[in-house]
Amino acid sequence: MSTPTEAEVRTEVREWIAANWNPDMSLLEWRTKLADSGWGAPQWPKEWYGRGLPHSLVRVVQEELAAVGAVGPAASGVRMLAAATLLEHGTDAQKKKFLRRILTGEDTWCQFFSEPGSGSDLAGATTRADLKGDFWIVNGQKVWTTSAHHADHGLLLARTDWDVPKHEGMSYFVIDVKQQGVDVQPLKQMNGHASFNQVFFTDAKVPKENLVGKVGEGWKVAMTTLAHERRGADGLAPPSKKGRKEGRIHAEERAENDKANEPYRWYPQRAGRVDLILERAKETGADKDPHVRQEIAKLMIMAKSAEWTARRARAAQQQGRPQGPEGSLGKLAASHVARGCARVHTMMTGTEAMLTGKESPREGIIAEILVSVPAVSIAGGTDEIQRNIIAERVLELPKEPRFDTGPFRNVRRN
Ligand SMILES: Cc1cc2nc3c(=O)[nH]c(=O)nc-3n(C[C@H](O)[C@H](O)[C@H](O)COP(=O)(O)OP(=O)(O)OC[C@H]3O[C@@H](n4cnc5c(N)ncnc54)[C@H](O)[C@@H]3O)c2cc1C
């Protein structure tokens, strides 16, 4: 069947919204309708809660939903990474079991990749999964696990073979987080929030049918998750909508967002708050200081070019082109902008930038920026790792020497 035109999609979705949208229904009822109609994720395949539309037409659907103030599908958190990974590598049974509940927001997800001894070196993971009867038995420790404290399911990378090279001995699972044997302990950050956790697995169980991809192919599956994470579907909550809308469904959505976003209140600050720079320049009189003004100009130029790089990546995705170097370049650029912001905010605010509490500059927001921006240079792959990727895969420079080939059992660790 040929791809519908923009006008055809607009008419069809508009008619569907007119017949179905009612702000007084429950959030779950509406999202179930969205999922079952395919309008919640129109870019997904028709047989899996989508409409098989190209990315370029998704915008049309979003515009029509926004025009009547309709709530969208649940899209925040790791759930969209889970969906992208399952759509590419999952079995039909897994897609049937998980995808619909991702869109309706009934399940929350987290990502069990990093460990105390393997973050950048993700393929060095030592959490193990051993097959016993119909279950994989999981033992080990993960760390930095955002949202594990309220997640239902986790995307788990675990070692299933110790006698092959490290990238070949990993497998990928969906694990039930709320079971005995999974001990989630929140970690408090230097900005005072607790968004991530350390998680201990002691004989935790994963049913055989929750293996994603084949045994030993976990690395390949994890690369799909990471590619989507670098593209930006990384657990950031959607931007809050302006204005207070009436109706049961909006009240339920607000309650859901408040609960889900509580641990991430600092996320805007970790990006550096470039949106506050010009306001603060006027507020503090820094716009009169030629030296600071020059630094502000440099930062705003960098922020604009980073935004354009991100737009290029989005445009490529919308046209169905594979992700180019924009993923790593965009991630590095975001990290430069965040750190640049922290520096310029400090220049403008002076020593008061260190104060927190109601009486402090912008009620503590400036201080929170200073202690939150390092996260951008670490999460989803550090700056150094992005530079390695750009050097080796984009510029084709010689690879780093390796000391970790051969059976993983014999590789020196930690
Ligand atoms: C806000 C936030 C949220 C996160 N959420 C999650 C999550 O939900 N799930 C999850 O699994 N993980 C999560 N992480 C973990 C994140 O993916 C890791 O922190 C990251 O991959 C770095 O690993 P590491 O902390 O072990 O540092 P290490 O790998 O120990 O690195 C330490 C330093 O050495 C450098 N380095 C390491 N290897 C090289 C190399 N080959 N060449 C040059 N330099 C190198 C690094 O750049 C870094 O500066 C999160 C992290 C943050 C900050």
First-to-last CA distance in the chain?
55
* CA–CA dist 363, 365 (Å, integer): 6
Residues 76, 236 contacting (CB under 8 angstroms): yes
Residues 154, 175 contacting (CB under 8 angstroms): yes
**What region does 33 belong to: left with phi over 0, alpha with psi -120 to 50, or beta?**
alpha
Residue 120 Cα, ligand 1 centroid: separation in angstroms?
5
Q: Residue 159 belongs to what H/E stretch?
A: strand 153-159
Residues 204, 183 contacting (CB under 8 angstroms): no
What pLDDT is recorded for position 231?
Answer: 65
Residue 117 Cα, ligand 1 centroid: separation in angstroms?
10
Q: Residues 158, 383, 193, CA angle at the centre, nearest 5°?
A: 70
Residues 89, 213 contacting (CB under 8 angstroms): yes
Q: How many CB atoms lie within 10 A of CB 188?
A: 10
Q: Which residues, 6+ apart, have CB-to-CB distance to 291 below 8 Å?
A: none
Spans of the chain below 70 pLDDT: 1, 231-243, 322-324, 414
Ligand 1 site-directed mutation target among 144, 150, 332, most atoms within 8 Å of CB:
144
**Would you tell me the crossing angle of helices 79-89 and 218-230 to the nearest 10 degrees?**
130
* CA–CA dist 361, 358 (Å, integer): 8
* CA–CA dist 364, 355 (Å, integer): 6
State the amino acid at position 399 in one-letter form: K
Ligand 1 site-directed mutation target among 173, 382, 402, most atoms within 8 Å of CB:
382
Q: Which atom of ligand 1 is the closest one to the Cα of 375?
A: 53
What is the residue with the minimal CA distance to atom 50 of ligand 1?
A: 379
What pLDDT is recorded for position 328?
Answer: 82
What is the residue with the minimal CA distance to atom 32 of ligand 1?
A: 120
Instruction: Find, among 49, 14, 55, the residue nearest to 34 by Cα.
Output: 49
What is each CA distance from 216 to 59, 113, 139, 171, 404, in whole angstroms?
38, 15, 17, 5, 17
Q: Are strands 109-112 and 153-159 parallel, antiparallel or unpaired?
A: parallel
Using only the alpha carbons of the chain, give its radius of gyration.
23
Q: CB burial class (10 A; 0-12, 13-18, 19+) of residue 255?
A: exposed
What pLDDT is recorded for position 125?
Answer: 96
Q: Residues 190, 372, 78, CA angle at the centre, nearest 5°?
A: 100
- Provide the token pair at 221: 């599956």
What pLDDT is recorded for position 240?
Answer: 44
